[in-house]
């Protein structure tokens, strides 16, 4: 079985025989898969009333457990967004009544982001459908292959050089 990345590798082998295009087989596929998976995750979010980019923030707050609060910097690093990107999403979530900002009692200058009851109800309502969708997207892999892929991706993620 072949995909479009195989063709790219073959083209580089013909056009640049001195180059090693094999990393494209992994990096190219991961990049393409990331986009393809997002395209297949977003419809489930939309069906449950979530705007693009809201799921990760709400789910991160929900996974913290009671009282479902985090400092903005911790939230930003957990969801791998820029601080400005996080702020824009948090502003929209706050306007929608899904999160609230409050002063951090442990830091006079700090703020805490808290999941509201409406935010918790929304994220709890989408989580089962989201996880079922992710399982469906991985159906081409056996349980063993899923475990192997998860381990390999973890190793790759942990081994990336710093920026």
Of the candidates 136, 110, 127, 105, the one whose C-alpha atom is nearest the C-alpha of residue 58 is 127
Query: φ, ψ for residue 65 (rounded to 5)?
Result: 75, 175
Structure token pair of residue 38: 């997002």
Burial (CB < 10 A; 0-12, 13-18, 19+), residue 158, is: exposed
Domain layout of the chain by residue ranges: 1-47, 50-159
pLDDT in tens, 108-148: 888 999 999 999 999 999 999 999 999 999 999 999 999 99
What pLDDT does 68 receive?
96
Q: What is the largest CA-CA distance in the chain?
A: 63
More confident residue, 23 or 83: 23
User: Which helix (DSSP H) or strand (DSSP E) does residue 90 occupy?
Assistant: helix 83-95
pLDDT band for 10, please (50, 70, 90 cuts): very high
Entry field: residues in the chain: 163
CA distance 63 to 84: 23
**99-104 and 69-70 beta bridge pairing:** unpaired
What pLDDT does 108 receive?
86
Predicted model pTM: 0.86
Does the domain spanning 50-159 belong to CATH 3.30.565.10? Answer: no
Helices (H), 49-82: 54-63, 72-79
């Amino acid at each position: 079985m072949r995909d479009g990345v195989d063709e790219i590798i073959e083209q580089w082998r013909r056009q640049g025989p001195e180059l090693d295009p094999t990393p494209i087989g992994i990096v190219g596929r991961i990049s393409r898969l990331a986009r393809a998976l997002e395209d297949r995750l977003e419809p489930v979010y939309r069906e449950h009333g979530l705007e693009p980019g809201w799921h990760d923030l709400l789910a991160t707050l929900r996974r913290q457990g009671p009282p479902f609060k985090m400092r903005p910097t911790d939230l930003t690093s957990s969801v791998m967004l820029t601080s400005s990107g996080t702020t824009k999403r948090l502003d929209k979530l706050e306007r929608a009544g899904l999160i609230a900002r409050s002063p951090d009692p442990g830091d006079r200058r700090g703020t805490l982001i808290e999941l509201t009851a409406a935010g918790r109800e929304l994220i709890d309502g989408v989580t089962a459908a989201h996880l079922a969708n992710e399982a469906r997207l991985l159906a081409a892999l056996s349980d063993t292959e899923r475990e192997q892929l998860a381990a390999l991706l973890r190793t790759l993620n942990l081994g990336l050089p710093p920026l």
